[in-house]
Amino acid sequence: MTIEQLNEIREAKRELVMVRKLIKEEGEKLAEKTGYRKQVLICGGTGCTSSGSHKVVDTLEASLKKHGLEDEILVVKTGCFGLCALGPIMIVYPEGCFYSQMTPEHVERIVEEHLRDGNVVKEYLYQETVHSDGSILSLNETNFYKKQMRVALRNCGVIDPEQIEEYIAVDGYQALAKAVTQMTGDEVIDEVLKSGLRGGRRRTQAEVPMAIKDDVLRKLLGAEGVLSGSALADSLHVSRSAMWKAIEQLRSEGYNIEAATNRGYRLAAGPEALTVSKT
């Protein structure tokens, strides 16, 4: 797939997915452009699946076909919404109506009254979303969700994880595209290191990444005297094991790194041409 094809898919599917992220009025305007009057998202996570969400999906699809609505209503099986105790969960967009603890028996009435006739079935809604005056809150306005700032899981419960086009629609692979087309190898490594992510750096395999060895060498070059192992590992956000292996590999490459008992390390001498500058 080319970058151009990636961007074409993103633009083609963006509005479809954005309906699920906007507030009601904006979502309704955008829905008119997508070809679907409503979108029904049903949780396919482990909790909801164990509560029978697959049966809800099967019943919903059959009921939509029976009423001739299969071309007007899009059914989307998503990842976990996070409120497993209320599963199976079903959200209807663009309204954002939050139906909880769904059963196949509930589905037929929702299809007839809500999806066909436009009347929300309030008794099946998560009750926190129903005000005493009859108004309805959307999913994102509930106490559970409104204070959350999702990062890695921001698309969970929003897109179908088995439809790669939906991931692309929410900027999937754009970071990869940028790294491949706009950045050098050193810039990519520097970006990963600056991110502060620890998982990729806490490695204990036989070969330590070059970036870690370079960082260890820079610290030793810039140190006045001995640098303790703990301080060295903590400053680089790596484990003591990874730091020790980096030192051992640097020694094998010709760097004379001395260890002072209970004190730390210092660079006594290195190869004639140092490959890492003192910064």
Per-residue pLDDT at 109: 95
Per-residue pLDDT at 201: 44
Per-residue pLDDT at 272: 53
**Summary mean pLDDT of the chain:** 84
* 139, 140, 141, 147: CA torsion to nearest 10: 140
What's the sign of the alpha-carbon dihedral 52, 58, 61, 65? Answer: negative
Per-residue pLDDT at 204: 42
Per-residue pLDDT at 202: 45
> How far is the C-alpha of 39 from the C-alpha of 129, rounded, in Å?
19
> How far is the C-alpha of 88 from the C-alpha of 100, rounded, in Å?
6
Q: Do residues 78 and 159 touch, judged by C-beta distance below 8 A? A: yes
pTM for the structure as a whole: 0.67
Q: Is 55 a residue whose pLDDT tops 90?
A: yes
Question: Out of 19-33, 112-126, 261-275, which region has the weakest mean confidence (pLDDT)?
Answer: 261-275
Q: Residue 262 — very low, low, confident or very high, per pLDDT cuts 50/70/90?
A: low
Helix (H) / strand (E) containing 77: strand 73-78
The Cβ of residue 97 has, within 10 Å, a number of other Cβ atoms equal to 26
pLDDT digits (tens, 9 = 90+) for 3-40: 999 999 999 999 999 888 876 667 778 888 898 999 99
Phi, psi torsion values for 245, nearest 5 degrees: -65, -35
Per-residue pLDDT at 205: 46
Domains and CATH numbers, the chain: 3-174 (3.40.30.10), 196-269 (1.10.10.10)
Place of tokens 């049966």: 55
Reduced to 3 states (helix: H, G, I; strand: E, B; else coil), residue 106 is helix
User: What's the start-to-end Cα distance of the chain, in Å?
Assistant: 40
More confident residue, 138 or 169: 169
Per-residue pLDDT at 263: 74
